[in-house]
A and B are shown apart, each in its own frame.
Chain A
Amino acid sequence: MTEKELDVFFQQVAAYQDGGLSESELARFERELLDDPQRRRLFAEMQVRSAAISERFRTAAFSMGSPHSPSPPVTTTPRTPRSVWMLAAAVAVAASIAIALLTPKPRGENATVAHLTPPGSPDPNVGSEGNTFATITYASHAKWDGQIPNATLTSIPLNKRVTYRLSSGAVRLSMDSGAIISLAGPASFTGIGPDEIELEMGKLAARMPTADSTLVVHSGGTTVRDRGTAFGLTAKVNGDVDLSVFDGSVSVERESSGGVSQPQTVQEGESIACSESESRAVAYSPEQYEDIWPLTIGVDEASNLIDFVPPGPLGSLDKFANDSKLLLIPETMNYRNETKLSIAAIKPSESYPENRHSRISIRPGKLVSSYLLIYLPVERWEGNRHTLTGSVSFQKPIIGVVVGPMALAKSDRFFGNPEIDYENLQFRYLEDKATEDGNLPADSLRVSDDGKTLHFQLNVGAGQDNLRVLVDETPSL
């Protein structure tokens, strides 16, 4: 292979890694790999080198706590055979284990919002003032029928009276009324007004972040009006609608040949199925909304090691016990703090345990959402050791991450979920040094510089490691 061919091949691999090869380029790339052992070797080496680069930067970010360093400090301790062995020894005694190394996602895997080109829209990429109904605030692997994706990092408004067709992936919209909606593809929807949307087909989950937020969803002959709620709605192509109410209550009206029905109230923890002829109660089934619920509650991305509690009444936490996962529970959403609060917490650009004595101050009137990350092992025994590493990214910036026992207890009073008995959670704090005779290394956390991502490496044992993430819900100007 000549130098020139080598250059071209490396560029092809760079494009392949980015998903930037067209179908024909991909076919050619694949053919060349099949025909040429040297190319296969170079490809494998480049893949391993890329993984090693990723790890070097990650190690630097974690071990240094040097947020402003533009480059990875190569003097940081590399993973030596000894440290690998010690880590192996620490975890090998477990009956089962989650081996995890930091999985930061400082940018979303697909944290771009596609510019939409709705058919028939004269100025498709920019919604004109007064003609919009919502803004896309996040898109995950979103593909649109008949649209030309054009990656941009800015949120974009959506025009009223334009039908948008999401063929796959998921998006989160912020309605002009303040309501938050997540939609999963395939879905087809049209904005009618600042608090009104028609879902022709597909599924959505909605949440009203404040008492002022309102939302009306039309689907087939069914109209759902919120009453300070969270709910999920699935519209089928035949016009049938399934509705589950996660929080509060909604009012449902059905239109049929006989006219409009009397409004029916559906309460939290209830589901109904509506067709042209009837509306009937069915078993509560929030599961179908689990995939888009994290977006709805303001979580953009999370490692696969994090499970989310399904929307709706929480019930006993025991049913969520899992030896190899963390559980994320939204606690109080959009809580308006009334007094000045000072709590020990890790701030953006800070790490735990290095900054374990940091404090945050929350001024009166600030809007805050709280999320509890909790490790709930199935069985609590001393030898039960796991390393859980990953990240979670929020829509809004993190104010602080509360980890200490006193700070957790203090913040329970303001941000706790009334359904959780926090006093029953045992050993809920993180450890800033190795425990269990040195077999369980210290926990570590880092909040990204932009404050939106929490990276964690939790070495968990018999206790229920807890951390509370407080997020700033102040509306952006």
Chain B
Amino acid sequence: MTLSEKETPACRDPASPVRIDGVMTKLTTAQTTERLLEDRLALTAYIACVTRNYHLAEDVFQEVCVKAIGQIDFFESDVHLRRWFRVSARNRAIDIIRAREGRYVGLGEEAMEALEQEWEDEDLYSRDDRGEALAKCLDSLSPRSREIVKMRYFENRSGREIADSIGAKIGSAYQAIARIHKALRECVRQQFEVSK
């Protein structure tokens, strides 16, 4: 029996060392791959705290994945893997930004350290039911709101471009994005309540 058959990520403590037949072991390449695929959204979101660009965050995620999977018999637990991944990805993202733009402007080390606590929370990691709920909520948005988030997060358009397209000032574009996030947050919460 393989570890993934015995222990699904939902029921095992991610901080505990991996055990097979009572013997403490390390994450296999297959397990590392599986965990990273499951944690992809949360980790990409963490990288985007630095890159502020979800496409670049995806690129960094992919690069660090290759590195992680090359670390054979290294990760002792999911938490160990996630911590290592976040640190590596953060450093890589900053390097890329410095190379491209000359300097990194964004949240400093202290703030990123504080945010680490949030990314330790299991709730932030992959939840397919949350994805389903978000999909339904996106569908319930007005066509204009849907277009705004599509432009912002899929087409990677800047706030200025969105403002131009809706004939508003940049502050109004941020306001519109904020309102959509608030609506989606509330909608997803309601979806969960209904499903309970």
Query: Complex Cα distance A61/B178, Å?
Result: 24
Identify which of B55, B143, B149 gathers the most chain A CB atoms within 10 Å of its CB. Answer: B55
Contact indicator B119/A44 (Cβ below 8 Å):
yes
Is B136 a contact of A167 with CB atoms below 8 Å? Answer: no
Q: Which 3 A-B pairs have the closest CB atoms?
A: A10-B178, A92-B30, A57-B154
Residues of B within 8 A of A185 (CB): 102
CA distance A56 to B177 in the complex (A): 17
Are A84 and B37 within 8 A (Cβ)? yes
- Which of B52, B54, B111 is A51 in contact with, Cβ under 8 Å? B54
Residues of chain A with a CB closer than 8 A to B132's CB: 78
Among the listed stretches B16-24, B61-69, B73-81, which one makes contact with chain A, having 4 or more residues with CB under 8 Å of it? B61-69
* A-side contacts of B13, CB under 8 Å: none
Taking the complex as formed, is A281 at the interface, i.e. its CB lies under 8 A from any CB of chain B? Answer: no
The 0/1 profile, CB within 8 Å of A marked 1, for residues 96-109 of chain B is: 10001110011110
For the complex with contacts A47-B48, A49-B134, A101-B62, 17 further pairs of A-B residues with Cβ separation under 8 Å are A7-B179, A16-B52, A17-B48, A19-B105, A20-B159, A33-B114, A34-B114, A40-B117, A48-B45, A70-B147, A85-B4, A88-B37, A99-B65, A104-B154, A105-B156, A141-B101, A305-B59
B149 near A88: Cβ-Cβ < 8 Å: no
- Mark B38-71 against chain A: 1 for CB-CB distance below 8 A, else 0: 1011101110110011111111111101100110
Known contacts A48-B41, A99-B65: A11-B48 contact under CB 8 Å: no
For residue A174, CB closer than 8 A to chain B, the reply is no
Q: Is the CB of A51 within 8 A of B45?
A: yes
- The answer, yes or no, to whether B34 is at the interface (CB within 8 Å) is yes
Q: Which residues of B contact A7 (CB under 8 A)?
A: 175, 178-179, 182
Count of chain A residues with a beta carbon within 8 Å of a chain B beta carbon: 83
From residue B18, how far is it (CB to closest CB) to chain A in Å? 15
Can you list 28 A-B pairs with a CB-CB distance of less than 8 A? Answer: A14-B178, A15-B159, A15-B174, A16-B106, A17-B48, A26-B106, A30-B110, A44-B115, A48-B45, A49-B185, A50-B48, A51-B44, A51-B54, A54-B153, A54-B154, A56-B135, A71-B139, A72-B139, A79-B131, A85-B4, A96-B70, A99-B33, A99-B69, A101-B40, A101-B62, A109-B56, A109-B156, A112-B160
Residue B83 at the A interface, CB < 8 A? no
Indicate with 1 or 0, residue by residue over A56-95, a CB within 8 angstroms of chain B CB atoms: 1110010000000011101000111100110111011111
Q: Is B157 an interface residue (CB 8 A)?
A: yes
In the bound complex, residues from chain B placing their C-beta under 8 Å from that of A48 are 41-42, 45, 124
Q: Which residues of B contact A96 (CB under 8 A)?
A: 66, 69-70
> A81 — which chain B residues lie within 8 A by C-beta?
128
CA distance A183 to B41 in the complex (A): 36
The answer to whether the Cβ of A380 comes within 8 Å of any Cβ in the partner chain is no
A436 at the A/B interface (Cβ < 8 Å)?
no
Instruction: Given A10-B181, A40-B117, A70-B143, answer yes or no on A34-B111 (Cβ-Cβ < 8 Å).
Output: yes
Give the nearest-CB partner of B132 in chain A: A78
* Closest CB in chain B relative to A65 CB, distance in Å: 16
Whether A107 contacts B155 in the complex (CB less than 8 A), given A19-B52, A34-B110, comes out as yes
CB < 8 Å neighbour of A50 from B45, B66, B143, B147: B45
B105 lies within 8 A of A78 (CB) = no
